[in-house]
Structure 1
Amino acid sequence: MTRTLYLFCAAAPPIFHVAGVVEDAQARGWDVCLGLTPTAAGWLEDSLSGLETLTGHPVRSAYRMPGGGDVWPQADVIAFAPITANSLNAWALGLTPSWPVGVVVEGIGKRIPTVAMPCVNQALAAHPQVDRSVAMLREAGVTVLHGAGGWVPNPSGQGRPAEYPWHLVLDAADRAS
């Protein structure tokens, strides 16, 4: 039985490694549908057609027209990684500034198993809303991989996108399915 994973990504440097993550997820038996925030879609603009070929699905970053059919199969699990502080906080507050955030806001109500792993630096993580957002999403049943056992924020200006632990997201998605 094929499992469908919606892999959503916000604009953080680890997205430049997303093709390898899609391949890893496919090797684990996932049918991957890739969704991007508008800024992330801009960052990957030159790679979108290749990512569509890799996944076999359109890469989505915007709401569809009302009444239009959905081009993706139904999700068994949603993974939002990397997720920025902006998208994380909007989601926790129930705001829907972008299509991927709108889907995960609704996903809580639909009880779709969801995993998130922020990619924020120490300065952003120090803002009190980030901890409140992580706590609220966990209370709502979302697996948030932040801190020990997930993404540990690095000092500002010292990004390490190649070290982003994508395998933890896929492991959590496997457990959630």
Structure 2
Amino acid sequence: MSRSGPVVGLVGCAAGGVETACESFVRPARARGWGVAVTLTPTAGSWLAGSDELATLQDAAGLPVRVHPRAPGERSPHPPLDCCVVAPASANSVAKLALGIGDNQALTMLCELLGNPAIPLVVFPRVNAAHTRHPAWPGHLAVLRAAGVRLIEGPGVWDLHEPGQAPSNRPLPWDTILAATEYALDGRP
């Protein structure tokens, strides 16, 4: 992959909609001239490994899809990032990131990026109303905001529903996520 345009890291977590990341984020990002380096949490990786989606993601991105950590001394298969997007971000991954828990390759990378002003971080929490009622949830979001994370959330962007009550096949707000990524790459707030 050539390094002519910016490189965006895409971290996909085990949340509904991760299976749409290739068509809805990777291909449009590549059409904008961005490189895309995909990393998946272990559960998201196992979900997509059972289909052709993992190979499709790798082909579309032009880089290996990372799920597992590399061995000591092994070089990263991804180029340096200009921006990183976590979409969809599960409630579990949002909480771990806010607490600094890097217990898999994706979260280790995100914990290293958090608070680095040179590499903007955009996060779309794919959560339901029950997740947001947890007493720790507002604190997790406050920590991420304080670290400069651009959160994609709120009414009109991602309306909250009770578990199992959301409309079926509800699409993720990929257009909003792409726009936030473009703003981040341009250095806009």
TM-score (norm 2): 0.88
Q: How many correspondences in the alignment?
A: 177
Shift of 1:28: 1.9
Alpha-carbon distance in structure 1 between the residues aligned to 2:115 and 2:123: 16
Alpha-carbon contact 1:91-1:105 (below 8 Å) kept: yes
Alpha-carbon distance in structure 1 between the residues aligned to 2:77 and 2:182: 23
Alpha-carbon distance in structure 2 between the residues aligned to 1:42 and 1:33: 18
Alpha-carbon contact 1:33-1:55 (below 8 Å) kept: yes
Match among 65, 84, 88 for residue 59 of structure 1:
65
- Residue 108 of structure 1 aligns with which residue? 114
Shift of 1:154: 2.1
Compared CA separation, residues 149 and 132, structure 1 to 2 (3 A):
farther
TM-score (norm 1): 0.94
Letter in 1 for 2:181: A
- Residue 174 of structure 2 aligns with which residue? 166
SS at match of 2:26: helix
Alpha-carbon contact 1:119-1:153 (below 8 Å) kept: no
SS at match of 2:8: strand
Range 46-55 or range 112-121, more displaced: 46-55
Range 102-111 or range 81-90, more displaced: 102-111
Identity of aligned residues (%): 36
Residue 6 (structure 1) aligned with residue 30 (structure 2): no
Aligned-CA RMSD value:
1.4
Alpha-carbon contact 1:13-1:161 (below 8 Å) kept: no
Shift of 1:64: 0.8
Shift of 1:149: 5.9
Would you tell me which structure has more helix in proportion to its own residues?
1
Unaligned runs of 5+ in 2: none
- What stretches of structure 1 move > 6 A for 4+ residues in a row? none
Letter in 2 for 1:33: A
Shift of 1:81: 0.7
Unaligned runs of 5+ in 1: none
Residue 34 (structure 1) aligned with residue 38 (structure 2): yes
